[in-house]
Structure 1
Amino acid sequence: MPPALLAAATLDLGLDSPSENPDWADVPAVVTWFEQLPSVPGSHPPLILFVERVAHDPTVSVSRELHEWIETRSGLDPATQREIHVTTLRHSVRLRALSNESYTDGKVGQNGHPSTPHGGDPGALSSSVLAHTPSATAEITETGSGREPVRIWGGVPLRNPDFTGRETLLSNLRKALETRSAASVLPQTLHGMGGVGKTQLAVEFVYRYSDQYDVVWWIAAEQQSLVLQSLLDLSRRLGLPRTEDMRQTATMVMDALATTPLRWLLVYDNALNPDDITGLVPSAGGHVILTSRNQTWASVWDAIEVDVFDRPESVELIRKRGNVIAREDAEALAEKLGDLPLALDQAASWQKATGMPVGEYLELFDHHVRELLDEGRPASYPTTVAAFVNIAFERLRVDAPAVAQLLELFAFLGAEPLSVSLLRSAKNSNVSQPLAGVLRDTIKLNRTIRALRQYGLARVGGDQSIQVHRLVQLVLRDGLSEDLAEQSRRNAQAILSAANPEEPDESRSWPIYALIEPHLQPAGLIYSDRRDAHQVVIDQIRYLGVIGDSEGARRLGELTVNVWQKNRTAPNLGPDGEHTLLATRHLAVALSDLGLSGRAKALKLEAFRRFQENAAFGRLHEHTLSTLLSIGTDLRAAGDFKEALASENDAVERHEAAFGEDDTLTISALGNRAVSLRMLSRFQEAYDVDIKRISTLQDTVGENNWRTLLAQSNLARDLYGLGRYTEALELQRGVLPLHSSTLGDRHPHVLLAIRTLTIALRKTGSYREALPYARTNFRDLTARFGPDHEHVLSAAMTLANTLRVMGQPGEARNIAMSTLTKYRRVFGDEHPLTLAASTNTAIILRALGEHRDAFDLDERTLRSLTNALGAEHGYTLCAASNHSNNLAQAHDLQAARDLSRKTLELSRSVRGVEHPYTLACAVNSALDLVASGDSVQGRELLDETVLAMSRTLGPDHPETVDVGRGKRAECDIEPPPT
């Protein structure tokens, strides 16, 4: 190289040395001199800056070789290499002169970019374009911010103002928690028979020692679904990612509590089965209390037995709760009630409400005890409680029949609280008198609820909920006559049916469904002959699936379908009944969510056939068409994209015939067709469909409706597929905040939109901003769907692709190889999504120099994609362009040239001339022309392509810079959601 060039490069860079300058004619001495120069803090090695600067000079014939040397020998990541490329370019005096000349000559290209003289090294061409950019690629540094821990308190019952005694038990409980949980968490069980006050003891402990904890969470543990729902609520309060799988959420909560610096206390109240709780104890960091009637807990963990009161405690409680009861009467009552706290509390409350003398009460009590003993009542509850309840009911049915009828409801409700709002919503329901009159009059209802509390028959919480002790419920159920039992059961069913919002997909209704859930099976809604009761069950199956309790939805769905298929009397049940088929469809959705896609698809097809062949529904009924749409989803997930599109086209035609083009159901069908079009790489057609959908949705449901926002996110995916990355990024950025505020930042639609944002950021060159999004999105999707779900695997490949362009191919390889293994296991070797993952993995292997493995993987993948999707599909074109890189690396220059030329022609025809991936194909084709001896044609094509990339992506886009440095282009794949 001319000595003057080396000296000028040094001058441009402003590099100084305490020693004398070298002899510029002695190139080895110049290199040694630069190696010995000290690096400026915050800058890059002087030798690398020098070599990059020399490579920019248009007179240098080995520019590409110099760039390759920096890439392979510098040890710097690709982002840093690009930064050096752009930085040194701005120091180039000669190139600035060339740039000014291009401006003053008036040679201006499209979008105001200056045209550049052709000829010379390909690196010099892009340099003249880059010299006009104001700055290098923007970098966004992720910064953290600390926050003070927030007190979290949930589910704890109201404190009992009349709590009595138990000081020794409280002290023992505290000591046991402090000493036995010092190293690892050992739950402390409070066990004893029903009614001894285990729950009240735990409540008092929580309030008395609450200042020692940052997190206190009370969990009603009688039903596993309620435990999981409570832990889901806790996960939200802890700020954890939301997941469709509630068991995974529970695991996340356990892990978070085990590692947080917050002090925490979990209380599992009325935990029946040890197997339900053993996996729900954090390994460290806090305390766990369980209450249970099951004595086997003592063999699992440390246990404290809670027995009946000591006599002084019994007397104290009776006199505190009752109405001027003498000590001797209190002694007699405690003796009669066996010092059972629940019975004492109820009896004292009854005496206070009625004013009945204790002597009279004891006479009545003796009478009812004899009845109970004579009738051989089960031993699952104390006779003291049974006698008390029967006394109360005998008086209530005479003095306050509406109160008695309200209480009788609880014989057929769950043990969890019943919201008063549910009762109010049932004011027009078909319930029996006098309860019907009470429900229709707010004042009467409030009085009736107060009466329940005064008589000690129920607890009314500050959140306006009524709870009847499970022992009282059992006595009620046993004591009702057959006619009264049937009346109460129907009343409970009518109230729950009236409360049903009938919109399980809408998040605003989920709190109501959560209130209904624990009462659904005790009320016997599955076995009811009421049509509205059946709708409650159907909606509950759907609700459980939507909130992520897919296993709960499956259990309820299978029970329901099994019962309803055998019912030959109800007109909407039986094998062909409307509600049976709807329940079957929702069951199939739950099975799909659990990964049981084969059975799910079979159920959907069977339900579709029965709907279509049933004269009451037919081919154009809403139920038939909704089931048809869900079948298209299964076909896409199976990789049958063309068959899915045919199914969607059929569905759209039927919807238009049944409801018209602008109906919301038709718009939903169009949305599904657009999804199939995207999977077939027909992005322009999908774009046209989504534009129409958005316009219609804005007019029908409004701009801020979640359906409109989802359609806009889909439009962003269309723009991405069309190579309009900046438009996709701007649209998704604009929609995402509203989408998140409408559905929540952990809703599946929002998480998928964040992935679209991530890949758009990467494709617009904002690699550093994209990486934290990619990591967080992968984590959040994993938490919501589990490790093997399609969305999670796609997010994993997005993360791997982002790590690769950020210069971290080692981590990218680990993620990609693990993900590819899962794709093969879950979807099969020949599934298009598996093949897309194979294409991405081969790129990463090439970046690591594992050329043989990359060659073999790409060769197999290209063959499989061609067979599965055809030569013109976008995935196939990516694989073909990438395989030309393998051929070039293997020095099979003619084969590389033939493949890259053919791929370029197909891409121009399918994607368009200036699609970024068409330009990537053009880059590889140009370099293959140069390498195989056609230098003039190759460099002309390369010059044109660099200018086109500058117009399309921007002159300082990393891919444009890489092409300027003589690098071959790679085409990775980011599949849209199926």
Structure 2
Amino acid sequence: MTDPPHVAGSAAPSDPALLVALLRDAMPSTLVEAARELGLDSPSDSPHEFEVARLVEWIDGQSPAADGSIPLVHFVERVAHDPTSSAISHALHDWINTLAGLDTGQQREIHLTALRRAVRHHPPGHEAYTHGEDGQIGPIEATQAGDVGALSSFALAHTPLAVGIAKSGGAPEPVRIWGGVPLRNPDFTGRETLLSNLRKALETRSAASVLPQTLHGMGGVGKTQLAVEFVYRYSDQYDIVWWIAAEQQTLVLQSLFELGRRLGLPQTQDMRQTATMVMDALATTKLRWLLVYDNALEPNDVTGLVPSSGGHVILTSRNQTWASVWDAIEVDVFDRPESVELIRKRGDVITREDAEKLAEKLGDLPLALDQAASWQQATRMPVSEYLELFDHHVRELLDEGRPASYPMTVAAFVNLAFEKLRVDAPAVAQLLELFAFLGAEPLSVSLLRSAKNSAVSQPLAGVLRDSIKLNRTIRALRQYGLAKVGGDQSIQVHRLVQLVIREGLSDDLAEQSRRNAQAILSAANPEAPDDSSSWPTYAQIEPHLQLAGLVDSQLRDAHQAVIDQIRYLYIIGDADGSCRLGEIAVDAWRKNRTAPNLGPSGGHTLLAMRHLANALRETGRTERARKLNDEAVRGFEQNPEYGRLHEHTLYTLSNIGADLRIAGDLNGALASEDDTVERHRAAYGDDDPETLRILGNRAVSLRLLSRFDEAHGADQQAISRLRDLFGDSHWRTLAAQANLARDLYGLGRYEEALALLQRIVPLQHSVLGERHPYTLLAIRTLGVALRKSGAYAEALPYARNNYRDVTARYGTDHENALSAAVTLANTLRALGQAGEARNLATGALTTYRRVFGDEHPLTLAAATNTAIVHRALGEHREAFDLDNQTFQALTRTLGENHGYTLCAASNHANNLAQAHDATAARDLSEKTLDLSRSARGRRHPYTLSCAVNTAFDRIATGDAVSGQALLDETIVALSEILGPDHPEAVDASRGKRAECDIEPPPT
């Protein structure tokens, strides 16, 4: 033979001498027939007159077909599938599998083409295998084998879900969305240079990507007024203008939630998810938009809520650290001509000389100037008299970063105005005193009205109960300039005014005002944090709750308001905010041994602990969550007001199983849930939604223990009852059906799982939103079911998008983000993209080890998948060592019958075979096959994968007859269960060992 054979046009050769030696064992007539079926005329029509080497050389010299197919590879595949070549079929497939330049998908397609030709030319009398009614494998007739090998193309009736906002291909329609912008100040004065600089900065520095412009300066210099003026002056250049009160992140989320509604985005109960959707929509729309974040405090509160491109963002803040984050424009006090102009605009009888004197006294602070002008206009007090009284009411105002004269001038003015109010309008003064103990964010008049029956002092109580008096009071606030009354009937008192009023109150008045604030906020609490219709009220209360001192209040209702706020923040997706408030409340209430329901075992303390534990668990602080939840359960059980069967006790108890699963104690979790189920049945009965919820939790533990049959039965019963209670489209029913799909997947019933998920995931989108935790988990399972059903290419966008969405919601260290990374890595590896898969798999494994520990079941599952990727890349030493360690650890922690252990065992047998230790590989494969048949059943796809590897190991150890018989019957079984075109069935047929990856269900 001259030059070694090569695969024309694509693949590099394997060992040519080995191929020639293998083909010499084939019947010459088979070689001639195979060449003719491929449309090739061999050098000689006589099977006895040619040499195999010449035939291989000649076929190798043929040009690729029009479709790019490679003659020599197709020829070898065709010979391998001929019944007369069964003795060398496995070796021929091994030769093809070692060719460079052919990806897995190409190899499978070549294999299927050859198999179709072999079926059409099936010689009479050849036996194939099928399953009898008793489940045993036995021979069938040739015609039946032909039916099995009909090889219809795999097709899924599947339409990918549209993730994100549907966009029209045409030009956008004119849109005008305007929200939250304060009323324009008709007396706006000066600032022309700042307005020009701001406009230029937005146009030039946001050309490529959004670079927010920060207006920073001390309180009262007019940052907000400057932004308001900019909005009105340039409003015609934007399609969307949205003003966001940004002092509290909850207010930001609430505002973006409303913007999402105005944009027509899909509705979701998770505000953080909606905020992300809004950012994505603005970054991709052709509409011109402007966002204004007013009075932002910390950079971390806003940096993740800025679209990446497409528009402009303005941010105002007193915090000077913003200057090191984004481009900043400093807003300082007025120049003296601007001060004089403003005073004379507001006070038309003030002379220029008096205006100069007033500006000098007030230090050119815009807020103080505006307030003084309002006061003079309302009282008509001569400026000389005003200035004479002024020095008698100077009071130091504590405010960081202020010029020394500022607080004194503002304090003097506020005290002067406030003393006048106490005489002329005591109810108005009392309302302002109340606002001195609230936050600086607006509070709606409707919220004040809702608290009309609260225990506030007179005369304010009478005003709240009389709408006419309340309206008069609001008009007085607007007139005297001590508070800002918005067009939306909201009241806002500047923080400098608040500080001055608070400093000027006696201890008794301060206590009364603080108690009034607490009473109003407590009375306004809707007591329904899970109800989305109550969320706007909770968003209003949140900025004022801590400043009003509700945590330390002696009012029982105040404590409930705090507890509900902790829950509300958790529900809307602000788990960090929920943690912060929860930590403050729990720490304070544990120490309080005098107030009812407080102290270490008080009911309100225990409820706060329960909600805090949920938020901690959501943010990945699982160990602290577990300890806190355990403590709360013991506290409820030992508190005589509650006991073992109280609702609060049972609800808190239901979280213990999740904590134990997260900790890796799967058997302990199941034992805990057995106890929890019995308690719920005793307290509620079998069909109560709470009992059904706990049964669902128990099924989670069963799944993680590989007891899929039991979980399947439990979930089926729960779904039947939930349908009767809530209907088929309720979120509880949909969640239970998603769990059922995970049971079906665990049982190897992939297409059933896929069909169920294709039905329920669109419903979850509409009911819960596309990035709700339940929806994200279901989408991940849908991608897994697509892959295991053989639709590898269709599965990839689901896995990739799910990984993106889950990490955006939770960060990269959360369990859900790690499992999404594993799913994406498994999908990429199945598609032959092992390089990208390795980066994901190794990264996830490192994080699993750091977060969960080396021998946690989730860590070991990730290690099993990572070893498969190493093998796919030819990194056999890495795969061998990792599988060996993982197999031993899984055997110790979960036992040899657990599904994860069986996967690791079967995969490690692949390492042993690769290392040419055929005897050890066979011993491990045979044992694993027996265990899998017992644990999973003979027809489970993973049992059949074990059988494929066992067959190859029998052949490799000289037991060719038994090995080939097992391989033949297993290929038929895989074709029946998964479909003859399924990649796993095709791979077994072409002599490729099976890999058993793991997709852990959520904990």
The alignment status of 1:738 with 2:796, answered yes or no, reads: no
Match of 1:412 among 428, 434, 437: 437
In the TM superposition, 1:250-329 aligns within 5 A as 269-270=294-295, 291-293=316-318, 306-310=331-335, 313-314=338-339, 316-318=341-343, 320-321=345-346
Q: CA deviation at 1:644?
A: 1.0
| Aligned alpha-carbon RMSD (Å) | 4.6
Q: Is the 8 A contact 2:340 2:355 kept in 1?
A: yes
Q: CA deviation at 1:610?
A: 2.2
Distance 2:814 2:546 in 1: 31
Distance 2:615 2:569 in 1: 9
Distance 2:945 2:842 in 1: 25
- 3-state DSSP of counterpart to 2:370: helix
Q: Name 2:108's counterpart in structure 1.
A: 82
Q: Is the 8 A contact 1:254 1:280 kept in 2?
A: yes
Q: CA deviation at 1:957?
A: 1.3
Distance 2:912 2:544 in 1: 66
Residue type matched to 1:95 in 2? V
Q: Is the 8 A contact 1:244 1:785 kept in 2?
A: no
Distance 1:845 1:566 in 2: 54
> Please, which moves more after superposition, 585-594 or 257-266?
257-266
> Please, which moves more after superposition, 618-627 or 753-762?
618-627
The alignment status of 1:856 with 2:881, answered yes or no, reads: yes
Match of 1:617 among 642, 651, 655: 642
Per-residue CA shift, 1:106-148, capped at 9, x if unaligned?
999889xx998579xxxx9988623241557899999998867
Pair 30,154 (structure 1): closer, same or farther in 2 beyond 3 Å: farther
Match of 2:894 among 869, 888, 901: 869
Q: CA deviation at 1:465?
A: 3.3
Q: Name 1:72's counterpart in structure 2.
A: 98
Q: Is the 8 A contact 2:905 2:925 kept in 1?
A: yes
The alignment status of 1:372 with 2:393, answered yes or no, reads: yes
The alignment status of 1:587 with 2:586, answered yes or no, reads: no
Q: Name 1:845's counterpart in structure 2.
A: 870
Pair 127,756 (structure 1): closer, same or farther in 2 beyond 3 Å: farther
Pair 598,137 (structure 1): closer, same or farther in 2 beyond 3 Å: closer
In the TM superposition, 1:226-625 aligns within 5 A as 269-270=294-295, 291-293=316-318, 306-310=331-335, 313-314=338-339, 316-318=341-343, 320-321=345-346, 339-350=364-375, 354=378, 356-359=379-382, 363=385, 365-366=386-387, 368-373=389-394, 382-390=407-415, 392-394=417-419, 396-397=421-422, 400-433=425-458, 435-436=460-461, 438-439=463-464, 445=470, 448-625=473-650
> Please, which moves more after superposition, 687-696 or 279-288?
279-288
Pair 408,216 (structure 1): closer, same or farther in 2 beyond 3 Å: same
Q: CA deviation at 1:788?
A: 1.8
Q: Name 2:119's counterpart in structure 1.
A: 95
Distance 1:527 1:505 in 2: 24
Residue type matched to 2:597 in 1? N
Distance 1:214 1:26 in 2: 79
> Please, which moves more after superposition, 592-601 or 778-787?
592-601
Per-residue CA shift, 1:393-439, capped at 9, x if unaligned?
45555655554444333212111222344334434444445544554
Pair 424,6 (structure 1): closer, same or farther in 2 beyond 3 Å: farther
Q: Name 2:924's counterpart in structure 1.
A: 899
- 3-state DSSP of counterpart to 1:538: helix
Q: Is the 8 A contact 2:266 2:766 kept in 1?
A: no
TM-score, normalised by the number of residues in structure 2: 0.84
Distance 2:300 2:778 in 1: 38
Q: Name 2:14's counterpart in structure 1.
A: none
Pair 48,937 (structure 1): closer, same or farther in 2 beyond 3 Å: closer
Distance 1:300 1:928 in 2: 62
RCO greater where, 1 or 2, for CA within 8 Å and sep 6 or more? 1
Distance 2:679 2:224 in 1: 58
Distance 2:779 2:210 in 1: 37
Residue type matched to 1:133 in 2? S
The alignment status of 1:831 with 2:856, answered yes or no, reads: yes
Distance 1:724 1:275 in 2: 46
> Please, which moves more after superposition, 927-936 or 313-322?
313-322
Residue type matched to 2:827 in 1? T
Per-residue CA shift, 1:320-349, capped at 9, x if unaligned?
556887878877766765554323433444
Pair 106,634 (structure 1): closer, same or farther in 2 beyond 3 Å: closer
Distance 1:714 1:895 in 2: 39
In the TM superposition, 1:951-970 aligns within 5 A as 951-970=976-995
Q: CA deviation at 1:79?
A: 2.2
Q: CA deviation at 1:906?
A: 2.1
Distance 2:945 2:602 in 1: 56
In the TM superposition, 1:783-798 aligns within 5 A as 783-798=808-823
- 3-state DSSP of counterpart to 1:974: coil
Structure 2: which 5+ residue stretches go unaligned? 1-25
Q: CA deviation at 1:693?
A: 2.0
Residues matched between the structures, number: 962
Q: Is the 8 A contact 1:878 1:972 kept in 2?
A: yes
Pair 43,195 (structure 1): closer, same or farther in 2 beyond 3 Å: same
Distance 1:301 1:724 in 2: 53
The alignment status of 1:133 with 2:139, answered yes or no, reads: no
> Please, which moves more after superposition, 712-721 or 455-464?
455-464
Q: Is the 8 A contact 1:139 1:768 kept in 2?
A: no
Per-residue CA shift, 1:831-890, capped at 9, x if unaligned?
111111122122222223333332332222222211111111111121222223233333
Q: Is the 8 A contact 2:27 2:84 kept in 1?
A: no
Q: CA deviation at 1:646?
A: 0.7
Q: CA deviation at 1:78?
A: 1.6
Match of 1:928 among 953, 962, 979: 953
Pair 729,606 (structure 1): closer, same or farther in 2 beyond 3 Å: same
How many percent of aligned residue pairs carry the same amino acid? Answer: 69
Residue type matched to 1:343 in 2? A
Q: Name 1:916's counterpart in structure 2.
A: 941
Q: CA deviation at 1:513?
A: 2.9
- 3-state DSSP of counterpart to 1:466: strand
Per-residue CA shift, 1:168-215, capped at 9, x if unaligned?
332344456667889999876655543232221233234434566788
Q: CA deviation at 1:73?
A: 0.2
Q: Is the 8 A contact 1:801 1:972 kept in 2?
A: yes
Per-residue CA shift, 1:897-929, capped at 9, x if unaligned?
333232222222222221111222222233333
Residue type matched to 2:518 in 1? Q
Q: CA deviation at 1:976?
A: 0.7
Distance 2:534 2:578 in 1: 17
Pair 303,675 (structure 1): closer, same or farther in 2 beyond 3 Å: closer
Residue type matched to 1:129 in 2? V
Distance 2:384 2:219 in 1: 22
In the TM superposition, 1:775-814 aligns within 5 A as 775-814=800-839
- 3-state DSSP of counterpart to 1:527: coil
> Please, which moves more after superposition, 155-164 or 942-951?
155-164
Q: CA deviation at 1:969?
A: 1.9
Residue type matched to 2:96 in 1? I
Q: CA deviation at 1:949?
A: 1.9
Q: Name 2:85's counterpart in structure 1.
A: 60
- 3-state DSSP of counterpart to 1:586: helix
Q: CA deviation at 1:591?
A: 3.5
Q: Is the 8 A contact 1:137 1:957 kept in 2?
A: no
Per-residue CA shift, 1:579-606, capped at 9, x if unaligned?
1122223333333344443333332222
Residue type matched to 2:120 in 1? R
Distance 2:900 2:327 in 1: 59
Q: CA deviation at 1:99?
A: 10
Q: Is the 8 A contact 1:608 1:627 kept in 2?
A: yes
Pair 790,159 (structure 1): closer, same or farther in 2 beyond 3 Å: same
Q: Is the 8 A contact 1:245 1:786 kept in 2?
A: no
